[in-house]
Copies of this chain bind each other. A is one copy, B any other.
Amino acid sequence: MPNNREVRLASRPTGWPTEQNFEFADSEVPEPGDGEVLVRNVFMSVDPYMRGRMNDVKSYTPPFALHETLQGGAVGRVEASNNASFSIGDYVSSNLGWREWFISDGRGIGKIDTTLAAPEAYLSVLGGTGFTAYVGLLDLGQPTPGETIFVSAAAGAVGSIVGQIGKIVGCRVVGSAGSDAKVSWLRDELGFDAAFNYKVEGIEDALARLCPDGIDVYFENVGGDHLQAALNHMNPFGRIAACGMISQYNNATPQPGPNNLSAIVRQRLTIRGFIVSDHADRRPDFVRDMSAWLSDGRVKDRVTIVEGIDNAPAAFLGLLRGENIGKMLVKL
């Protein structure tokens, strides 16, 4: 049998993680027993929330355990099956990433329809990433036509889909990103009304320039300076959908927050944090809408692919540094 390589947590980082926080382990690929299937992962996802799981802090998902295989979204191909529900050649999604092969009794894996989209799309636009954008923008942000949406980390996996949904529902969409190439992609390819490179122009200045009518919905992926600047431009009754605050994840010690939180009261803002898994009731709506938007070309999916499980830690670290455009995936 071929070798099965896995990635494990070697140590917990303080501040920015490094490759030394990861370790590899090899084993023989096991044989599936009665009722089991053998899956070969073909793509795995790296996501910002995984940084939180590297800390020994109670959260909505438990911390990664030291010296145990990491977890995360993956899609794979059934290579052997003793389970009547799965056939060789089926593609399945799971939370068993960071490994090349795994055995399952069928729980925790779900067949995906590769006639509708490529397998990797189920880790990006048709997966948790797209669903996060959908729920966060529509249910928490509650945009109405003509309103202005600002999305930070707009060229990231979630942000890029948020902006495209924002255009579909008739809003003006403004995004921030960390390179001129990302800014061009948002404006020229995805149809954002405006975008800016926050490493070149101050966020405050950019929002004054690009959101002359204020911000009605802020889709928050970054926190810190982005949140402070957005608060200064929020319109009365504005909504902030708080999906993540990636600028804070690698602080070795907690950093002070925005100095203008009293805008929450003055402008009667609503800030709501969310985790997409709490919104499973909306999945059928998401699948229906996103499939239609993909097939008629109104939503475009872009992935940045890193090759090989040996490079998975580097892919994750690159994600935290913003090296991806669109969804960051590892091809196994």
A contact face: mostly helix, strand, loop, or mixed: loop
Residue of B nearest to A221 (CB): B265
Does chain B have a CB within 8 A of A328? Answer: no
- Could you tell me if A273 and B278 are in contact, using CB atoms closer than 8 angstroms? no
Query: Once bound together, how far apart are the Cα atoms of A243 and B264, in whole Å?
Result: 9
- Could you tell me if B268 and A270 are in contact, using CB atoms closer than 8 angstroms? no
Interface size on A, as a range, is: 35 or more
Known contacts A60-B236, A271-B271: A259-B266 contact under CB 8 Å = no
Copies of this chain, whole number: 2
- Could you tell me if B236 and A264 are in contact, using CB atoms closer than 8 angstroms? no
- Could you tell me if B275 and A262 are in contact, using CB atoms closer than 8 angstroms? no
- Could you tell me if B236 and A268 are in contact, using CB atoms closer than 8 angstroms? no
Interface residues as binary, A234-277 with B (CB distance below 8 Å gives 1, 0 otherwise)? 00100000111100110000111111111111111111111100
23 A–B contacts, CB within 8 A, in A order: A52-B266, A60-B236, A60-B267, A227-B261, A242-B265, A243-B265, A244-B262, A244-B265, A245-B265, A248-B261, A249-B262, A254-B259, A256-B258, A256-B259, A257-B258, A257-B260, A264-B272, A265-B273, A267-B273, A268-B273, A269-B272, A270-B272, A270-B273
Report which A residues bind B (CB closer than 8 A): 52, 59-60, 223, 227, 236, 242-245, 248-249, 254-275, 278
